[in-house]
Amino acid sequence: MKTEEAAQHDLEQAVAVVGMSGRFPGAPDLDAYWANLRDGVCSLSEFTEEELLADGTDPSELRHPAFVPVQGYLADADRFEAELFGFNRTEAAALDPQHRVLLETAWSALEDAGYAPLNAPSRTGVYMGGSSTEHALAAETDQALAASLGAMQVRLLTDREFLAPWVSYRLGLDGPSMMVQTACSSSLTAVHVAVQALLLGECDTALAGGVSIGAPRKEGYVYYQGGTSSPDGRCRPFDEKAAGTVPGSGVGVLVLRRLEDALADGDPVRAVIRGTAVTND
């Protein structure tokens, strides 16, 4: 039996997941994502040559003998309710799809936690990971875009370093706001940083997660032996047949609070984080 003191310590050192939202290939929300996992659905998409050409794939790439026409495709990644977040038409067109999707997902995560997105608790921090994108790279050399918005504004709208700050700014969140970059583990590392911030009292609520949308279109990839990609367009994690990964897009955001506070305020506790750690393999 735990002593009352030990039980109180466990309570004080735990963090609750009180809200969450996500969009993934073949799953526009978490209910669909769970159904796909439960039913063993493969959510990777295999595209026809016509689909790939229509979305801009170079014909010479299609003829490459190691080309694999498969991707974890995120539908509607280029759609955005710009007015809801205070962007005009020009800004919305320039805004990187990662920013658009992350803003919408952060909004719905707060709603899932029972908060009005524009009236979230004070001292809410934002900790996010993000990817480099073709959209951002193209924007760097778009002279017409720079002339209409200014080079600095273009960078603010496209660079991944501003993913978390945009969420904080547009949703009126006044806690710490930072990007976390550890390559493929960025989202989970962001959760670790958010948990530590909560336990240290740097914020009282935290949004943590990440987004990766390299390009919001249908595309495949060329397999190179010795690389990280799968030769057959199939991803088999933890399986003896695993041979590589498949590029894809997605976004996920958690709303975190100290467990003690969540219980006191009657928040919907979806899960409890008892501990986190960061290593390098």
Residue 148, domain member (yes or no): yes
With 60 as the cut, is the pLDDT of residue 1 above it? no
Q: What's the pLDDT score for residue 242?
A: 93
The answer to whether residue 279 sits within a structural domain is: no
Q: Are strands 177-179 and 124-130 parallel, antiparallel or unpaired?
A: parallel
The answer as to whether 152 is a domain residue is: yes
Least trusted range by pLDDT, from 3-17, 120-134, 156-170, 206-220:
3-17
Helix (H, G, I), strand (E, B) or coil at 255: strand
208 assigned to some structural domain? yes
Q: Is 34 part of any domain?
A: no
Which structure tokens are listed for 34? 């769970």
Q: Identify whether residues 192 and 53 lie together within a single domain.
A: no
Residues 186 and 266 reside in one and the same domain: yes
Share of the chain above pLDDT 70, in %: 96
- The CATH number of the domain holding residue 113 is 3.40.47.10
- Mean pLDDT along residues 199-210: 98
Sorting pLDDT into bands at 50, 70 and 90, what band is 279? confident
Residue 115 and residue 183 in one domain: yes
Q: What's the pLDDT band for 113 if we cut at 50, 70, 90? A: very high
Q: Are residues 82 and 206 in the same domain?
A: yes
Same domain for 194 and 110: yes
Q: Are 195 and 273 in contact (CB under 8 A)?
A: yes
pLDDT band at 216 (very low <50, low <70, confident <90, very high): confident
Pairing type for strands 271-273 and 15-23 reads antiparallel
Q: pLDDT above 90 covers what percent of the chain?
A: 83
Instruction: Using alpha carbons, list the distances in angstroms from residue 207 to 34, 82, 114, 121.
Output: 21, 21, 14, 11
Give the pLDDT mean for 218-235.
95
Q: Are 106 and 167 in contact (CB under 8 A)?
A: yes
206 and 150 co-located in one domain = yes
What's the N-to-C CA distance of the chain in angstroms? 37
Q: What is the domain range of residue 255?
A: 12-28+77-214+251-273
| Whether 206 contacts 256, CB under 8 Å | yes
Higher pLDDT, 122 or 12: 122
What pLDDT score was predicted for residue 40? 93
pLDDT given at position 280: 82
- DSSP annotation of 72: B
Asked if residue 59 and residue 173 are part of one domain, the reply reads no
List Cα–Cα distances, 92 to 30, 102, 132, 140, 167, in angstroms.
26, 14, 19, 16, 15
What pLDDT shows up at residue 138?
Answer: 87
Is the model more confident about 10 or about 246?
Answer: 246
The answer to whether position 6 is within a domain reads no
- Please indicate, yes or no, whether residues 226 and 142 belong to a single structural domain of this protein: no
| Same domain (yes/no): 202, 183 | yes
Q: Does residue 231 share a domain with residue 102?
A: no
- Identify any residues that bridge with 22 across adjacent strands, giving them in sequence order: 252
Question: How many whole angstroms separate alpha carbon 2 and alpha carbon 67?
Answer: 58
Same domain, 18 and 148: yes
pLDDT band at 140 (very low <50, low <70, confident <90, very high): confident
Supply φ then ψ for residue 99, to 5 degrees: -65, -45
Does 137 score more than 90 pLDDT? no
Whether the per-residue pLDDT at 269 is higher than 90: the answer is yes
Nearest partner of 218 among 10, 78, 64, judged by Cα? 78
Q: Find out whether 207 and 163 touch, Cβ atoms under 8 Å.
A: no
How do residues 147-194 score in pLDDT, each as one tens digit? 889 999 999 999 999 999 999 999 999 999 999 999 999 999 999 999
Its pTM stands at: 0.92
Instruction: Work out how many domains the chain is built from and give that number.
Output: 2
Same domain for 52 and 17: no
- 79 token code pair: 């759609």
- Domain membership of residue 181 (yes or no) is yes
pLDDT of residue 5 exceeding 70: no
Q: What's the pLDDT score for residue 9?
A: 61
- Annotate 72-131 with DSSP letters as a single string: B--TTTT---TGGGT--HHHHHHS-HHHHHHHHHHHHHHHHTT--GGGPPSSEEEEEEE-
For residue 72 the two structure tokens come to 């974890």
- Report yes or no on 2 lying in a domain: no
- At 68-86, the pLDDT tens digits run 999 999 999 988 999 999 9
